[in-house]
A = this chain, B = another copy of it.
Amino acid sequence: MKRSGYVASVGEQQLGQTVTLQGWVARRRDFGKLIFLEVRDRTGVLQVEVEPDSAAFAEAEKVRAEFVVEIEGELRLRPESQRKEGLGQFEVVAKRLQILNEAKTPPFELEQGERVSEEIRMKYRYLDLRRPEMFEKLRLRSKVIAALTSFLDAEGFLQVETPMLTKSTPEGARDFLVPSRLSKGEFYALPQSPQLFKQLLMIAGVDRYYQFARCFRDEDLRADRQPDFTQLDMEMSFVDQEDILALNERLLRHVFQTVLGEALPSPLPRMTYADAMNDYGSDKPDVRFDMKFADVTDVFGGAEFKAFADAVANGGVVKVVAAPELTRKQIDELERVAKQNGARGLAWAKREGNSLTGGISKFVGAQASELIARTGLAEGGTLLFSAGAWRTAVEALGAVRLALRDLFDLAANGPKFAMLWVTDFPQLDRDPETGTWTYMHHPFTAPHDEDLPLFGTDRQGEIRAKAYDLVLNGFEIGGGSVRIHSPEVQATMFTAIGFSEEQARAKFGFFMDALGYGTPPHGGIAWGFDRLVMVMSGATSIREVIAFPKNNRGVDLMVEAPGSVDEGQLAEVGLALRE
Contacts and interface: CB of A to CB of B under 8 A. Distances in A.
Contact of A68 (B138, B145, B519): B519
A575 interface: yes
A204 interface: yes
Nearest to A147: B153
Contact of A186 (B129, B160, B564, B573): B564
B161 A178 contact: no
Nearest to A243: B2
Contact of A127 (B6, B130, B204, B218): B204
A189 interface: yes
Contacts of A519: 68, 101
Interface in A391-450: none
A252 interface: no
A200 B139 CA distance: 16
Contact of A547 (B138, B160, B175, B516): B160
Contacts of A103: 516-518
A195 to B, nearest CB: 12
Given A153-B146, A554-B180, A161 B546 contact: yes
A427 B107 CA distance: 34
A476 B518 CA distance: 40
Given A22-B520, A178-B176, A575-B576, A561 B227 contact: no
A373 interface: no
Nearest to A146: B153
Given A162-B548, A553-B183, A562-B180, A576 B578 contact: yes
Copies of this chain held together in the complex: 2
- Chain B CB count within 10 A is highest, among A104, A238, A550, for A238
Interface in A1-25: 2-3, 6, 22-24
A129 B561 contact: no
A577 B573 CA distance: 9
A212 B520 CA distance: 30
B563 A167 contact: yes
A518 B165 contact: no
A129 B165 contact: no
B165 A550 contact: yes
A203 interface: yes
A558 B160 contact: no
- Chain B CB count within 10 A is highest, among A178, A218, A563, A577, for A178
A565 B167 contact: no
B145 A159 contact: yes
Interface in A86-130: 100-104, 106, 124-127, 129-130
7 contacts: A101-B520, A163-B550, A163-B561, A182-B554, A185-B577, A197-B548, A510-B560
Given A104-B517, A146-B159, A178-B562, 14 more contacts: A68-B520, A103-B516, A104-B516, A126-B203, A127-B204, A129-B201, A130-B205, A135-B204, A149-B150, A161-B214, A164-B190, A167-B563, A186-B564, A570-B578
Interface of A: 2-3, 6, 22-24, 40-42, 66-68, 100-104, 106, 124-127, 129-130, 135, 138-139, 141-142, 145-146, 149-150, 153, 158-167, 174-183, 185-190, 196-197, 200-201, 203-207, 212, 214, 216, 218, 220-221, 227-228, 230, 238, 485-486, 510, 514, 516-521, 546-548, 550, 553-556, 558-565, 569-578
